Chains A and B, each alone.
Chain A
Amino acid sequence: MSLLYIRKDMLGPSAPPASQTGAIRWLRENLFSGPVNSILTLLAIYVLYALISLSWPWLANGVWTASSLQECRSIVAASAGPDAGGACWAMIHERWHQFIFGFYPPDLWWRPILAFGLLFVALAPVLYADNKSAMSKLCGLIGVLAVLCLIGADGFSFHTVLAIALFAGLTAFAATKPRALLTVTILFPFIALWLLWGGSIWGPITALLGFMVMAMIYSLIAPKLGPVMGASLGFIAACLWWLFLQSYVSEAWQALLPLELTYVTSDKFGGFLLAFVIGVASISISLPLGILLALGRRSDMMLIKTLSVGFIEFVRGVPLITMLFTASLLLQYFLPPQTKFDLILRVVILVTIFSAAYNAEVVRGGLAALPRGQYEAADALGLDYWQAQRLIIMPQALKISIPGIVSTFIGLFKDTTLVSFVGLADPLRGITTIVRADINWKGIYWEPYIFVGGIFFIVCFGMSRYSMYLENKLKTDHR
């Protein structure tokens, strides 16, 4: 049969129908997969449209340079017609530094910037454990950003050179001996204290010596009388040092070798600087307290358990705002007559107490998540309670707790806005009120809130993303 025809090669696949390719297919699958979905999609599009059409003209008419709200209004009226609304970003342009630094003297801005940069370096060993490359990348990046900020703040000066050298050194350390960065972590509270408030360098150094006294006494006594006695005697010795000796020693050193930065009083702190100071100080002091409370809550000793539970439940049971009012109104009743603290310190104390209770619950969660086998294994090895905690339980429990601690911090950081209710200059209401008391900006409303809200969003969003990343990294079960 000569009509036989055999196709030698395969036909190419015909193109899929138009409804199954490219954008249309994507739309069908993701947006219009069914009647309910289609309705929802249309609704969502409408909402988006409404939001944008409402806010866009206001944003687009924004004015960046003006010296008062009235001027802003007249510029908007001239450019977009008498009835048009327009944002007056000129206020941010003029007052941004108060939102960030409060009333911190402009020529000293390099100090908070440096302290903020060092904060990340101090955190690096905690965040990245032994990951050398991540740590050195972080240090380098923070160094570059800090130097840029410094140049922005007061030009290229001695401080800039100092910062470049400092961060270069730290990055080198991170790349070679990441463990050494832990020293920065331990020293950071004292460095930050000194950088932010200034004064004689010997104050923080002698305060640090108190901890060394504590460590020394502990290492002498602990082998003989056990860790609890060692720690408590060490603590007592350190307290004695702080109460009676420290001021003389620091004054003597100051006389011998005067090294000091300009002293900045607490009332100059405001804006995001204040928010970070309160947030970071409280969370870092409250973490050890929280661990002790969590252990206390799981303790077999009735009394200790009762006290810990009582403390935690009390603090978690009242709103933060009442704690702040306690700081401002009641703390004076509970302290010896005629002792006075600075309001910021009082607020930090009360916020620390507050976050200690929350951290205790987070750490307790971490402890509870450890399988019982870990405790039993520690017992089987013959470790005593504190050894077991230090070597086996805590390293694991704290690791699980980090995301929880980060979210406690996010919550706390957002809640620092409440300090305005006791008269501190927080960025959201404190500084905004101050700005609006100026006759030039009286009546301005949305702009400061949008600016401050935007910064809060960036910071908190960044942290929550980080905590999610950690959570995924720490998730060791396979699902």
Chain B
Amino acid sequence: MKKSVFFGALAATTVLAGSAFAGTLDDVKARGELICGVNVGLTGFGAPDATGAYVGFDVDLCKAVAAAVLGDAAKVKYVPTTGETRFTALASGEVDVLIRNSTWTFSRDTDLKFDFVAVNYYDGQGFMVKKDLGVSSAKELDGATVCIQTGTTTELNLADFFKSNNITYTPVNVADDSEALRQYDAGACDAYTTDASGLAASRASLASPADHIILPEIISKEPLGPVVRHGDNNWGDIVRWTYYALLTAEEKGVTKANIDQVASSTTDPEIKRLLGLEGDMGAMMGLDKDWSRRAIAVSGNYGEIFEAHIGTSTPIGLARGLNALWTQGGLQYAPPIR
């Protein structure tokens, strides 16, 4: 069913035709554009640069999905979402997929009626403190003042952690990452807590990073991943397998640079299936043969994307850690493409 609402003149240009929830893929194809909900305030993961072009770890997954579905990585409309508006934007169909450091939790999966299709970044909540505070463990933070971003799962984790260790703290609620960092830098709080990836990025941007340490305790599990609406399984499959295609590509050594060369020379049946040279995997979810090849060609495999935006060669300098491939001791494990 399609309806459109006309509100006089404005309607002529700004109303989007409605979409049926059951067929996100058809809507995306009909629209010729993927609408991707992103976070614009998280360094390395997603933000527009000086020319207004979006760049980042999460953004590259949006591009890969767009390339797989529409054949053009540029056909993405990025919708900035805040902690408060992100899930409503997805539920109401304003965005097709939310790729925005959202933690996979039980209630979000069930009560809020979403599907977390994969985990593209395994994160955990940590603490950053100034070195001269002389603290080496989060359990020594009794009585500390802690800066915390509101509207996220971090505030619940923090309350739980201090409660279970029977120590007290004073929360300083701040609106966003940059504000929290400024507060922390000015000494308004002893510790800053957020996802470890965010801490690393924040630490890198401080005037003297060496004066600050990230405490060893990771007090929560924060599996971050792309979210789609509950009930549209085919669309969920597309996002999930686009991601796994990027992961499999890394596992098999297929990169942005060598993809054409590998495609012409490979004898590995799994690579052949991955690149659509054998069988017709795409058709099973309503795409063409080359979907995964296009997805990988946009910005390379998972490892390349990681290194380009948040890896050790960038100022953020995150190590792969849990996000290394399973073959290298990490948790990133793609089910077989067959």
Contacts and interface: CB of A to CB of B under 8 A. Distances in A.
A268 B51 CA distance: 11
Interface in B11-54: 11-21, 40-44, 46-50, 52
A445 interface: yes
B263 to A, nearest CB: 35
Contact of B10 (A73, A199, A345): A345
Interface stretch (A295-303, A408-416, A417-425, A455-463): A417-425
A341 interface: yes
B205 A442 contact: yes
B223 interface: no
A332 B82 CA distance: 17
A407 interface: no
Interface string A102-127: 11000000000000000000000000
A207 interface: yes
Interface stretch (A20-28, A42-50, A364-372, A433-441): A433-441
Nearest to A348: B10
A344 B14 contact: yes
B185 interface: yes
A445 B12 CA distance: 40
B5 interface: yes
B10 A434 contact: no
A443 interface: yes
Contacts of B3: 336, 338-339
A340 B94 contact: yes
Contacts of A430: 80
B43 A438 contact: yes
Contacts of B5: 335-336, 339, 341
B202 to A, nearest CB: 8
A265 B16 CA distance: 11
Given A434-B47, A442-B178, A338 B13 contact: no
Among B8, B10, B93, B181, the most chain A Cβ lie within 10 Å of the Cβ of: B10
A348 B13 CA distance: 14
Contact of A332 (B19, B77, B88, B205): B88
A94 B50 contact: yes
Nearest to B178: A436
B13 A343 contact: no
A466 B53 CA distance: 39
Interface stretch (A189-197, A220-228, A394-402): A189-197
B50 A95 contact: yes
A69 B12 CA distance: 44
B19 A338 contact: yes
A467 interface: no
B169 interface: no
A461 to B, nearest CB: 28
Contacts of A442: 43, 178, 181, 201-202, 205
B338 interface: no
A49 B93 CA distance: 56
A197 B9 contact: no
Given A423-B80, A434-B40, A437-B42, A103 B48 contact: yes
Contacts of A340: 15-19, 92-94
Contacts of B206: 443
B15 to A, nearest CB: 6
Contacts of B50: 94-95, 98, 438
B182 interface: yes
B42 A338 contact: no
Contacts of B82: 421-423
Interface in B96-118: none
Contacts of B48: 98, 103, 434
14 contacts: A98-B50, A208-B9, A210-B9, A246-B6, A263-B13, A332-B88, A338-B1, A340-B18, A345-B7, A345-B14, A434-B80, A437-B47, A439-B205, A443-B178
Interface of B: 1-21, 40-44, 46-50, 52, 77-82, 84-85, 88-89, 92-94, 176-178, 181-182, 185, 201-202, 204-207, 314-316
Closest 10 CB pairs of A and B: A207-B9, A437-B47, A103-B52, A203-B12, A338-B18, A442-B205, A332-B92, A436-B178, A433-B41, A197-B13
Interface of A: 69, 73, 94-95, 98, 102-103, 189-190, 193, 197, 199, 203-204, 206-208, 210, 242-243, 246-247, 250, 263, 265-268, 325, 328-329, 332, 335-336, 338-345, 348-349, 421-425, 430, 433-434, 436-439, 442-443, 445
